[in-house]
Structures are given as structure tokens and as C-alpha cells.
Structure 1
């Protein structure tokens, strides 16, 4: 079996609190996608070199979030992973988790449109809630960190997806019970259950699923 390299990645679950209960933002991957075709997923993707750039933030990553991200991980990745979550959200949905701010130096091309809005990333709006490594046998493997954020912190119209790229279609807000009826990857089903528990019971340790050979391992961060 070919040894597929594992890439660091970040996923973001936006939660919108409504009178009908909490809703999450999801979209559908294309049928031609190499990884998880046709599945409904949260916005997210691989860590990009631009996420490691020296960029200004409107707010900083909370110490508690950074500490949990650092467990069983390179501590230099914490802030870049948080940035990646915000960048992927912006690229795939047009939604901007930012606050008024600017950057004095050079801005990587992948971030230019975000800063052109007069915004800088709102890292304090992120909570780290889940981590999972794709098992062997998949065409691509990721070490994905899942973050949640409150849609109330968006600097954009939560119903406007006109600036989204074409990576995800059928972008829409969906209740957690409705989300479970969609065609989901297994790990997304697990994350939805984790989000539901957190909304019901409050903060809890961060689950971490990893794999070695044909065995799966579970720990908490």
C-alpha cells in the first residue's frame, strides 16, 4: 500500500444561534473531487504556506486554545492552523471571521482579498473542539483540527455566499438534526455529535482520533 503523506489541515464549524435552535454552515463537495466526493462537509482544507506568514491579527488565539493545539503537535503550528481555518472559511464560503485591522507588510496572495476588506483575522473567536487523522486507504490523508466559531462574530452577511469559490456547492445553514440526514463522511457525523454534546453540556476535553497500521487510537487533549 502506498504511503500517503499526512498533511496538516483545519476545519471550521460556524454555529448560528436562532429561535429555532443552533444551525451550522455546510456545503457539498463536487462529484469529481478526489477526496470525499459528493459529501456534505464543513469548510476547511490543508495548511497553506501563506498561513505561516508573519500576519497581523485583530485578536490573538486564547492561551487555552493554543495549549490544547500544542498537545502531541508542533507548537509552531497553533497559530497557522487557526489562520488556515479562517482563510478556508473565507475562500470556500465568502464569510469573514475578522475585525477591523490592517497589515503593514507584504500580504500573501491567498490573504490579500481578506485584508482588502479592512479586516484582520479574529483568532479569539475560535474554539478548538476536535482532532482526527484520516485513516490509511484514503487517496489523501489529513491531520485535521476542527474549530467552532459563533456566526455572530462574522464581519460579513451570513446569508451572502456570492464571494465563495466553487469548491463547495449548496452552501446553506442547517440544523443539527437536518445535518445528520445529509450524505456525510463518517468523521463529520462524529464531529456533529461532539458539537451537539458541547452545546448541550458545555466545554469538555478535545477528542483526538489517530491511526497506526490497521488500529485506531483515541485520546483526549
Structure 2
């Protein structure tokens, strides 16, 4: 495998009506070549005062003909906001709300008559609120996440379309994560066991449904008392 990187900078004048502003442009080319596949990424950055303009694209955008795949545009003001636009179907932005980071992502594929928004507001290291909404429908989900002690996560979720609450609790134990979920609209209890280890590999066992309400809470009590 071979890796290469080329970078250059050029100070360019930026012409605006009755205004002349020098701006610095920075471009870089990164690539990787293996026996069966090669990739390349081109990045162009322009500093406009305290705002940074960034455009990046992969070789797929050029090699396979003019297309918008893998083309991303970014406008960033450090510590204030960042806007990312994945040209084919995604628009992302992050702003500060009461000094808290709010991240929003809009997905709208070309030819698809639907737009989905995902948002998350991080209140602190242990508390987060997230939403998922499909425009023009009642598909709206509101989730609150609380991490206790860095190992146990509680997540109540309200589904507006189903007018129902879901609740999940997960507990991390070394490389293992045990999760219990309850869906009120279907009265379905489910358990999940997953592992992500550098030494023992990764796997997940999920959708183990439990018909007994008491057995579910016995398992819940067991993982929380570890």
C-alpha cells in the first residue's frame, strides 16, 4: 500500500464591490494506492477573516464523470458554528444555544420525496436531548439520554406518531454492553448483548424477546446491580 499527500498554499485577492481583501487559500491532495483499489481526496480551504470556507471531494466525483457524489461544502467559524453540506442529500450544521452545542442534520435524497431531520443538544457530559422528524408526517421522536457514572445509560423516548413511550437501560461491563428495552405500544420487552473488543472481536446478540414482565425487570435489576 502506498500513501501520498500534496499540499500547497496561495494568497489570493478576494474582490467584492468597492472592497479588496487578501485571502489565503490552502489546498491539499491525499491519496492511497493498494493492489486492488486506489482513492484520492481533494480539499480546498479559504480563510475569509474569522470564517473558514472548505470544499472537499473524492476521486469518484471526477473520475466517473461530473457528479455530486462525495462532494462536501463547509462554512465554519471556530467556537461559534459550523455548517456542512453533503451535496447529494445531506445538510449538517452545528451552532451554540445557551453555550451548548446543537447539531442538526437534514437528509433529502435527490428523487426522494421526503426530508428527515436529526438533531441533538448536549446539555453536559451526562445529559443529551435528541429528536428525529420526517417533514410532512407525524413521525416525530423525542429522546432524552442520561449517563450515570459513565457506565449506565437511561433513555426514555416518546414517539408522537404512535403516541407511545419507549424506555431503555444499558450497562457497560468492560467490553460488554447489556441493554434492556421496553416498547409500550407493542408491550414488547427485548434484551441485547454486544461486545466490542480489540482482542476478542465484535458481536451482537439482539431481539431476545421476553413475554414475562417480571422476568424482564429481574434481568434489568441484575445488570444494574453488577
What TM-score do you get using the length of structure 2 for normalisation? 0.21
Larger % of helix: which?
1
What TM-score do you get using the length of structure 1 for normalisation? 0.22
Larger % of strand: which?
2
Q: Which has the larger radius of gyration?
A: 2
